[in-house]
Structures are given as C-alpha cells and as structure tokens.
Amino acid sequence: MENPTDTAAGPRETGGPLAGTVVADLSRALAGPHAAMLLGDLGARVIKVERPGSGDDTRGWGPPFAGPQEEPVSTYFLSCNRNKESVELDLKAEEGREQLTRLLRVADVLVENFRPGVLDRLGFGAERLRAINPRLVVCSITGFGHDGPEGGRAGYDQIAQGEAGLMSLTGPDPHTPTKSGVPIGDLLAGMNGAQGVLAALYERERTGRGRIVRTSLLSSIVGVHAFQGTRWTVAGEVPRAMGNHHPSIAPYGAFACADGVLQVSVASEGQWDRFAALVGLEPGDSRFASNADRVANREELTAELERRFKEDGRDRWLERLTGIGIPCGALRTIDEVYEWEQTRSQGLVIEVDHPGLGRIELPGPAIRFDPDGAAEDEPAGDGRTAPTGGHRPPPMLGQHTAAVLAWLDATAGERT
C-alpha cells in the first residue's frame, strides 16, 4: 500500500468522509492522540504539534523500542499516531504561539488533553480560540472533568480505572482488583472525543459555528458501566469482580478443558437445552432449569462442566459447540490474533513505510467503508478498509515542520 504523498500545498487528497478537514493535535500520551488518530483514519489532515527536541511523552515510553539504538522508536508511540504529520513548536515562546495561531485560523478541529487551565495560561482560552476562529471545534479531554471539586486532578489511565470503579469489577475475585490489560479509560475517552467532534462538525454545517466538546477518563469509564451501573442505581447491589464468568448469565465464561481453555456463552433457554444435551446434563435438572437457577448454582454448574470439558481437547469441544449453534471461542494470545486470517480479512492489520523503520505492520482502524456499488461477497481490499485510500506511518519528530509552515504561508488569508 502506497503512503499518501506529503505536500506543502495543502491537505492531502486522500478521500474519506473527513477529506479536507484540518485537525490541530496538541495532545500527548494516549487519550487525545487516539482521538486525533481516529479522525485521521477518516480522512482528516492531522497536524501534530510537539515540543521541540523531545516531542510527545510517548516517544520515550518503552521498552519495547524498534530501530537503531541511536534513534529508537517507541512502539507505544506507533500505536496511536498513524495518519499524522509532526510539527515542532515551542508554545512557551512567542514565535511558537504565533505559528499555532496561524494554524488554528485554518483548522477545523483542535484536540487537546492538557490539565484544566493550561491552555488558558498559554494564551489560548475559550474566548481567544473563538476570536481566532469562530468555526473551530475544540475537543478537550481531561482526567476527571474540566470542573467540579476534583476537576483539576491529573488523569492517568490506571488511576482513573480505580477511581471510576472499573478495577473493582475486574479480576479473579472481589479481593484482587485488577486493571484492564489495555489503557481502556484513555482509549474510550479518545473514542468519545472523536464522536463528539463528528457531531459538532455536523452541527456546524447548520450553525456556521464551532463549539467545545468535553470528555474525560472518568466520564468515559462510568459511561460504560452498563448493567453493572444499574445493578447499583436501580437494584441497590454493589457489583464485585468474579473472574471470567458473567454476573447475570450462566453458563457464560471461561472453562478449562483437557489441553487449554475455551469460552462458552449460553444466553437462552433454547441454547441451554442443546448445550446440556451435548455435555451430558439433564436440561430440566431443578438446579439448572432456568437462567436464574443456573446463576444461583453457578459454582456447582461450573464444576460439573469443567469435569466434562476435561474429557476432551479444546478444539474438539469448539467444533461440537459450533455444530449445535452455541456461541464459543478460544482464548488467543496477541500474536495469534494478528496472525488469524479473520483479523487480517477485516483490515485490522495495515502496512506502512516508516521513515526510520521501513515497512512495518500496525493495528488497523475498526471502521470499514465499502466503496459505492461494492458487492457483499467482494473480498476486502485497501479501498474498503482505508477510507483515505491509504495509511500514513506515525511521523518522526518534526518531520513535517517545514512543509506545514510553507502551507500556512501559501494559504494565509484564505480562511478566517
């Protein structure tokens, strides 16, 4: 797949729903960069503004690093900065602030995840941003919200997972609170930020004016409590971690078999009847007759099932369960996921030419766009998985400074 060409003349012509949209990305770490990357996946031109010399904090987060020792590249940085250009600006200096002002005059979106008050101290508070560009949509991501009694707190993902209750729901038992294996608060905040930007851009088509979109790690985690939240707010129950089993459905979870672990979800009485017959249980057994009975007697049911599952291997059980229409699956390691043909068929692995690393593979975007007139049975290709017509590698620090500043010179006065 060819990478779109960098030009100093203007936004890259790559197509996609956000083609022609310019995003100024002042964010660092993960939540803001993830939001900006999602916009870049949709075709926006994302210009990442970084500190001279050091850049985004994640450029130094590792190991693991890739490339030569004298110029190592953080794999963490690579994960959240595809489809961007990098510009070095010192926002503590007058010249850097002037260049940022020029960029914001022509930008459609600003993404930032500073602590509350930092942008104001840099001279880019809400009123100033409106004066610079009334059409600007601002995406502001914080740790615990921009206001409230603890709005000024720094927000790091694991801290937010704990404060927002997620760790109390995750882990083998109520006594072992456990963080998610990925920084889920950051990622959810990035997704919510991008969603808010899209809504604000749509609204701008009617009003001609931008607005500030706010989200936080706290709100993003609380916002996905789902049925665990209503267990407390409605039923008055405090949910607790219970390992790899569903709190409201049984059997639904992970079970040991002869040579590994499989996952099974039996979510209806019809499925239970078929499942019970397959594993040698009496469907009408009073202990397990209804889902409520099975949840109440979960430990006994789990012991019965694992005794039966251990009689054969995982793949054999998966074949049998799939054959009678029971949702089931293996537990894959990350390397197995990226080698899985189904993963690759969905465009979830992309190739880019990195200026320092050469040809590399990256996790791909979760959204696919079929081209007009594409048949449902047509094999997936670059045009269906990349609405921009191609992906750009995460940039080297300052790689596009000269080109972007030249573009700002060429477009001075064209947009206000």
d(CA 406, CA 401): 9
CA quadruple 263, 268, 269, 275: dihedral, nearest 10: -20
Rounded Cα gap, residues 356 and 67, in angstroms: 7
- What number of other Cβ atoms are within 10 A of residue 218's Cβ? 23
Whether 186 sits among the annotated catalytic residues: the reply is yes
Whether the CB-CB separation of 140 and 147 falls below 8 Å is answered with no
CA dist., res. 12 & res. 44, Å (int): 9
Give 87's contacts (C-beta < 8 A, 6+ positions apart): 47, 48, 49, 50, 103, 398, 400, 401, 404, 405
The structure tokens 């009003």 sit at 207
Residue 248 phi/psi, 5-degree rounding, is -120, -5
Structure tokens given for 121: 């101290």
List the catalytic residue out of 147, 186, 312, 353: 186
CA 141, CA 143: separation in Å to the nearest integer? 7
Residue 293, C-beta contacts closer than 8 angstroms, at least 6 positions apart: 286, 287
CB-neighbour burial class of residue 98 (10 A; exposed 0-12, middle 13-18, buried 19+): exposed
Beta bridge partners of 130: none
Beta bridge partners of 142: 216
**Best CA proximity match to 218, nearest among 179, 169, 164:** 164
Active-site residues: which are they?
186
